């Protein structure tokens, strides 16, 4: 990387994939501000039609787009294809959500005229995208924002700029004006400039809690700028008594190690009741040993590719060793497969006897295991976090799940399902350090437009019925 050029490298090979010039933030904001009123003035049906064309453009180039995602983000091609499918599906879901969440309403009141509810776009929205889902997650903000009539400035992760540029390119091909949807290339400084810029009206962020908190702090004195934060989690998967040990182990492995653990909904903590601990851990370890970690584009598709870069791999290895030093018992050692590439084998460590377990999001294939005597203790341990994004219960009765659901602090609560893989047709968000009560996915429509209440009559009619001199 130079002062003027951003370079993207393939995690699996270390080879250069893409390079592009840093963007001029002031110029991008200025262009967006000039362009958005005309876009907002279009009929919603016209904006929706162009977004449907965008979905068709992505479909047309689906395989090439999936390969780009696999190469730049390091995820297996099979998983990249599911991400492309999610990008396409987001349009229809967003159209439905727009109509349901921000539709027009009118009530007639005879001589008192009528009351109306309509929604207006905010203006110029900043979307700060992550590297783990470099197309799907930014797209989940961009499409609802454009349908609502906003202009959008996407600042993709500096680790996956090629995917962000391609995503916006599909929109331009579909007829979304170039100044209405822009990609802003850059690093943290460009992101900070977009957040603080007086010409931006909203910030839609997906990423680490450290950055999200910094954004929240920066804009705390500016309540006029809408802010939606999705900041991950220290997610628990709780296993209580079940005869389906193999299925439970599969759900655990899917939760912890899909996307090399680089999902905000990934299970970070496995909390197990003592009565099934030995049998369950044996099954989890047996399945984990079978997982293929390899090149995302290999003919025999791996379950996991690399993590995003060598620095991330080094930090995860250091975290694994730190947990051992603190008293953790390694069950499956995390290993670097190659010294100069970020391929990691899954790490599993029993931290039951660690006195002060760190309440942080270790963003990778690292699972901490905690033994507890019963379900109530498991619920208490699951809630022993400042985060609150996703939680799953495996096993138990309907009554057990009812108790779990009622007492767990999380925005996504599942039963006999993984912690990850949330539906785009439902709201997506959490509490605590996981977000700021502005869930995305189906509820993204809520933060992409603001409600306007009106009292209306076709002609003025009024009188004062009391308190006047004769």
Q: What is the pLDDT of residues 375-425, one digit of tens each?
A: 999 999 999 999 999 999 999 999 999 999 999 999 999 999 999 988 888
Contacts of 239 (CB under 8 A, 6+ apart): 248, 252, 270, 271, 272, 273, 276, 280, 393, 394, 395
Chain centroid to CA 160: 15
List of the chain residues with pLDDT < 50: 1-2
Supply the pLDDT for residue 459. Answer: 87
Q: Is 376 helix (H, G, I), strand (E, B) or coil?
A: helix
* Main-chain dihedrals φ then ψ at residue 47, nearest 5 degrees: -65, -40
Supply the pLDDT for residue 222. Answer: 95
Could you tell me the CA-to-CA distances from 446 to 119, 120, 305, 354, 421 in Å, in that order?
A: 10, 11, 35, 42, 22
Supply the pLDDT for residue 333. Answer: 98
Q: Among 14, 15, 27, which residue's Cα sits nearest to residue 185?
A: 27
Supply the pLDDT for residue 109. Answer: 76
Q: Where are the beta strands (DSSP E) in 11-81?
A: 16-21
**Distance separating alpha carbons of residues 270 and 256, to the nearest angstrom:** 9
**Distance separating alpha carbons of residues 104 and 59, to the nearest angstrom:** 31
**Distance separating alpha carbons of residues 180 and 191, to the nearest angstrom:** 18
Supply the pLDDT for residue 3. Answer: 56
427: which 2 tokens? 């709201």
Domains of the chain: 5-231+435-455 (3.40.605.10), 235-415 (3.40.309.10)
Residues involved in catalysis: 230, 264
Q: Where are the beta strands (DSSP E) in 60-113?
A: 105-108
Q: Among 163, 201, 202, which residue's Cα sits nearest to residue 185?
A: 163
* Main-chain dihedrals φ then ψ at residue 225, nearest 5 degrees: -100, 120
* Main-chain dihedrals φ then ψ at residue 188, nearest 5 degrees: -55, -35
User: What Rg do the C-alpha atoms of the chain give, in angstroms?
Assistant: 24
Sign, Cα dihedral of 238, 251, 291, 318: negative
Q: Is 273 helix (H, G, I), strand (E, B) or coil?
A: strand
Which helix (H) or strand (E) segment holds residue 8: the answer is strand 5-9
443: which 2 tokens? 């509820």
Which DSSP string corresponds to 317-355? HHHHHHHHHTT-EEEE---EEETTEEEE--EEEE-TT-S
Q: Is 96 helix (H, G, I), strand (E, B) or coil?
A: helix
Residues paired with 394 in a beta bridge: 239
Cα angle 29, 33, 35 (rounded to 5 degrees) comes to 115
**Distance separating alpha carbons of residues 376 and 121, to the nearest angstrom:** 46
**Distance separating alpha carbons of residues 447 and 225, to the nearest angstrom:** 11
Q: Where are the beta strands (DSSP E) in 191-289?
A: 202-206, 226-230, 235-239, 267-273
Supply the pLDDT for residue 2. Answer: 43
């Amino acid at each position: 990387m130079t002062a003027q050029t951003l370079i993207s490298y393939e995690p699996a090979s270390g080879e250069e994939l893409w390079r592009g010039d840093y963007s001029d933030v002031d110029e991008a904001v200025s262009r967006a501000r000039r362009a958005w009123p005309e876009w907002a003035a279009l009929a919603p049906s016209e904006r929706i039609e162009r977004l449907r064309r965008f979905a068709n453009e992505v479909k047309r180039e689906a395989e090439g787009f999936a390969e780009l995602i696999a190469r730049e983000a390091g995820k297996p091609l099979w998983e990249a294809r599911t991400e492309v499918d999610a990008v396409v599906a987001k349009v229809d879901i967003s159209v439905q959500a727009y109509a349901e969440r921000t539709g027009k309403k009118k009530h007639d009141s005879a001589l008192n005229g009528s009351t109306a509810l309509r929604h207006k776009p905010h203006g110029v929205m900043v979307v700060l995208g992550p590297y783990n889902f470099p197309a799907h997650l930014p797209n989940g903000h961009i499409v609802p924002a454009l349908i609502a009539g906003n202009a959008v400035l996407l600042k993709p992760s500096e680790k996956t700029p090629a995917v962000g540029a391609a995503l916006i390119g599909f929109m331009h091909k579909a007829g979304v004006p170039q100044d209405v949807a822009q990609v802003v290339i850059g690093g943290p400084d460009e992101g900070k400039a977009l957040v603080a810029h007086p010409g931006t009206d909203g910030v839609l962020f997906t990423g680490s809690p450290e950055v999200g908190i910094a954004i929240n702090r920066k804009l705390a004195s500016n309540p006029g700028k809408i802010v939606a934060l999705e900041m991950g989690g220290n997610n628990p998967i709780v296993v209580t008594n079940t005869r389906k040990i193999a299925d439970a182990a599969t759900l655990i492995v899917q939760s912890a190690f899909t996307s090399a653990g680089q999902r905000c909904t990934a299970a970070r903590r496995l909390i197990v009741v003592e009565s099934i601990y030995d049998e369950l851990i044996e099954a989890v370890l047996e399945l984990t040993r079978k997982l293929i970690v390899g090149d995302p584009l290999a003919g025999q598709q791996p379950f996991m590719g690399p993590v995003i870069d060598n620095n991330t791999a080094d930090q995860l290895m250091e975290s694994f060793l730190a947990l051992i030093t603190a008293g953790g018992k390694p069950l499956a050692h995390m290993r670097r497969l190659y010294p100069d590439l970020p391929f990691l084998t899954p790490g599993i460590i029993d931290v039951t006897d660690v006195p002060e377990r760190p309440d942080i999001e270790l963003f990778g294939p690292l699972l901490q295991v905690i033994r507890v005597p019963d379900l109530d203790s498991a619920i208490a341990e699951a809630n022993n976090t400042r985060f609150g994004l996703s939680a799953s219960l495996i096993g138990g009765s309907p009554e057990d799940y009812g108790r779990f659901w009622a007492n767990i602090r999380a925005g996504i609560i599942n039963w006999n399902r993984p912690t990850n893989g949330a539906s785009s047709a439902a709201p997506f968000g959490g509490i605590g350090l996981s977000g700021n009560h502005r869930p995305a996915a189906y509820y993204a429509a809520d933060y992409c437009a603001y409600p306007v209440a009106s009292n209306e009559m076709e002609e003025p009619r009024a009188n004062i019925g009391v308190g006047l001199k004769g």
